[in-house]
C-alpha cells in the first residue's frame, strides 16, 4: 500500500485516499504548518535581499541615497501618515 507524505507536517498519512488527504489538508495543524513554512520562506527571501543589497552597497555598486544624509538645516520632514 502507498502512504502519502505531507512535506509541511513532516508526516505520513495512514492511507492515501482523496478523503484522507482532504481531511488532513483542511485541519488546523496542517494549515498552521503551511502558514509557518511560507512565513519562514518570506523571511529568508527578505534576509537574502538585505544581504545582497548590503554587499552591493559595501562594494560601492549602489550610491548612497539622498535619505542617508541628514536633511539640510531648516528642512521640513513630513510627519508619518498615522498623524
Give per-residue pLDDT as tens, 10-53.
999 988 899 999 999 999 999 999 999 999 999 999 999 999 99
**Domain-embedded: residue 46:** yes
**Domain-embedded: residue 15:** yes
The confidence score (pLDDT) of residue 15 equals: 86
**Domain-embedded: residue 81:** no
**Domain-embedded: residue 78:** no
**Domain-embedded: residue 63:** no
Structural domain total, the chain: 1
Separation CA 37–CA 14 (nearest Å) = 23
Give residue-wise pLDDT tens across range 56-77. 988 888 777 666 566 566 666 6
- Expressed as residue numbers, the domain containing 36 is 4-57
**Domain-embedded: residue 25:** yes
> Which of the two residues, 5 and 74, has the higher pLDDT score?
5
**Domain-embedded: residue 36:** yes
Amino acid at each position: 500500500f502507498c502512504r502519502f507524505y505531507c512535506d509541511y507536517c513532516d508526516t505520513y498519512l495512514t492511507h492515501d485516499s482523496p478523503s484522507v488527504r482532504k481531511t488532513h489538508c483542511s485541519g488546523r495543524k496542517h494549515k498552521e504548518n503551511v502558514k509557518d513554512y511560507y512565513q519562514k520562506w518570506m523571511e529568508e527571501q527578505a534576509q537574502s535581499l538585505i544581504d545582497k543589497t548590503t554587499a552591493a552597497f559595501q562594494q560601492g555598486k549602489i550610491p548612497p541615497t539622498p535619505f542617508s544624509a541628514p536633511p539640510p538645516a531648516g528642512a521640513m520632514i513630513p510627519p508619518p501618515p498615522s498623524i
